[in-house]
């Protein structure tokens, strides 16, 4: 920690007279990273917060900056919350130019910002606007920050995962996903399936919203009080601040899937996956199909078991750990999913030594969340934290349709968790034993994780996507702070 006094922090690295817009003015660069100058009125620029980078143009130095709309320091163009502009000054001597250049470079380097990024752009996600967002919002900021970048447009499902599994990570300081949450999930799974997974998973990952849901980047930006916009998201990457993220390992036999957002079974999973046929509607497909599912509400038999966090021991009935789920999977499915690939095998926590509780169905919805926001307008788990080592569990059993409609309408502010028909708790480990529908035992359900079709029973939904697991018992454990994300704070 910096133990210097305030007066020492405010003392200048360098102070000089320079040309600004043809006028000689005093310019000071203080030890706490502030550029201060007099021109018409007194002005100050916080380099760490507002400077993207510096460009050295002959005898002039251009400071590429971002400022908020309410900030009147500089004029700027509209970028949806922030603006890009530049402040240009010219030292009066060659010696002064050299000194200013060195001091500014040294300070930016001391901030630990990324210098080389790999960027995945998913042109097929959401409203198919990722390429436009990259060109108009992301690339200009990266160029202003003098960050080198390599762009890969994803061509098909799991493309990003395939790239990451064999990528030379030494060439990059971070990976950025201009997409929805799906590409992030592919990157996490690709890193954890590498032989060097323990080092690979330390690679910082950034998110720029360009998909249907954008739950992860919404959670990150909202935690800092910032709006969810591409410009705010890429600025968080450029500044280089990071935070840890819990990773949930979903296991069934030898099959592993690593989740960072959520797992759903019942109503939420049915809406998320079955609404894919309305993807042309964009995010409106979710609301449209939710009304259909409420009208023809499904109830599912099944059972959930869990290890509650301290303070939530009153939920359910006492039980014991029944052993790790096993499932016979066809040889062709094993080959397609690369189950036997080396990599991370999940937490080594002793589940049999934990205190388990259980709740039996029928259920309307089971929803596990790792972060607060499920999408930009769904605050699914308002108490969820990025790296607390727990998942937030939302259970809905019997509920009238009108009450369910009211509940769903409250998800935009998180108040649905206070509904008397909702059980909301935190868990350390979780076991799901999904069953068939009450109204028709020949039909089963869908298990959805991070927007991916994890498992599909005997259902009317006919998708072409291969499932990762069977519609059977599965287990979830949490690894606290395993992954790393670029974050605004």
Q: Which residues are catalytic?
A: 181
Enumerate long-range contacts of 44-53, CB under 8 Å, 24 or more apart.
Answer: 44/73, 45/73, 45/87, 47/104, 47/107, 47/108, 48/111, 48/239, 49/239, 51/108, 52/84, 52/141, 52/144, 52/145, 52/238, 53/108, 53/144, 53/145, 53/146, 53/147
DSSP states of 174-211: EEEEEESHHHHHHHHHHHHTSTTHHHHTTS-EEEEE-S
Q: Which two tokens stand for residue 214?
A: 């954008």
Give me Rg for the CA atoms of the chain. 25
Give start and end residues of each alpha helix (H) in 311-369: 331-337
The helix (H) or strand (E) run that includes residue 81 is none
Q: What does the angle CA 189 – CA 190 – CA 194 come to, to the nearest 5 degrees?
A: 115
Taking the CA atoms of residue 49, residue 50, residue 51 and residue 52 in that order, the dihedral angle to the nearest 10 degrees is 90
Token code pair at residue 428: 């350390």
């Amino acid at each position: 920690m910096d133990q210097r006094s305030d007066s020492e922090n405010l003392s200048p690295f360098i102070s000089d007279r320079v040309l600004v817009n043809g006028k000689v003015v005093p310019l000071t660069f203080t030890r706490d990273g502030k550029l201060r100058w007099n021109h018409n009125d007194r002005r100050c620029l916080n380099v760490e917060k507002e400077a993207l980078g510096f460009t050295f143009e002959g005898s002039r130095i251009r400071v590429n900056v971002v400022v908020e709309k309410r900030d009147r320091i500089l004029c700027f163009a509209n970028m949806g919350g922030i603006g890009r502009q530049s402040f240009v000054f010219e030292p009066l001597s060659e010696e002064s130019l050299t000194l200013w250049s060195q001091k500014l470079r040294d300070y930016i380097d001391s901030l630990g910002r990324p210098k080389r990024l790999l960027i995945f752009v998913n042109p097929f996600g959401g409203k198919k606007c990722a390429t436009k967002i990259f060109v108009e919002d992301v690339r200009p900021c990266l160029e202003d920050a003098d960050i080198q970048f390599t762009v890969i447009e994803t061509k098909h499902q799991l493309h990003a995962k395939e790239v990451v599994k064999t990528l030379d990570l030494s060439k990059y300081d971070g990976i950025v996903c201009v997409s929805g949450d799906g590409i992030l999930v592919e990157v996490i799974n690709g890193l954890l399936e590498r032989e060097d997974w323990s080092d690979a998973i330390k690679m910082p990952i950034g998110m720029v919203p360009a998909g249907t849901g954008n739950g992860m980047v919404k959670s990150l930006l909202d935690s800092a009080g910032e709006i969810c916009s591409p410009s705010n998201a890429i600025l968080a990457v450029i500044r280089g601040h990071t935070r840890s993220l819990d990773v949930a390992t979903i296991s069934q036999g030898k099959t592993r899937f690593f989740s960072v957002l959520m797992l759903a079974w019942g109503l939420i999973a049915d809406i998320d996956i079955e609404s894919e046929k309305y993807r042309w509607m964009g995010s409106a497909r979710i609301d449209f199909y939710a009304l259909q599912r409420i009208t023809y509400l499904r109830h599912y038999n099944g059972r959930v078991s869990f290890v509650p966090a301290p303070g939530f021991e009153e939920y359910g009935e006492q039980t014991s750990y029944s052993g790790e789920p096993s499932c016979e999977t066809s040889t062709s499915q094993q080959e397609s999913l690369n189950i036997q690939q080396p990599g991370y095998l999940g937490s080594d926590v002793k589940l049999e030594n934990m205190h388990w509780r259980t709740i039996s169905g029928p259920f309307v919805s089971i929803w596990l969340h790792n972060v607060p926001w499920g999408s930009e307008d769904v605050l699914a788990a308002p108490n969820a934290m990025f790296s607390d080592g727990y998942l937030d569990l939302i259970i809905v059993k019997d509920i009238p349709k009108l009450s369910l409609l009211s509940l769903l309408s409250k998800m935009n502010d998180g108040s649905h968790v206070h509904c008397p028909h909702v059980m909301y708790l935190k868990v350390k480990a979780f076991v799901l034993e999904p069953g068939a529908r009450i109204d028709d035992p020949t039909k089963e359900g869908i298990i959805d994780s991070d927007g991916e079709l994890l498992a599909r029973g005997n259902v009317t939904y006919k998708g072409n996507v291969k499932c990762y697991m069977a519609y059977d018992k599965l287990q979830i454990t949490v690894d606290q702070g395993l992954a790393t994300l670029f974050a605004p704070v």
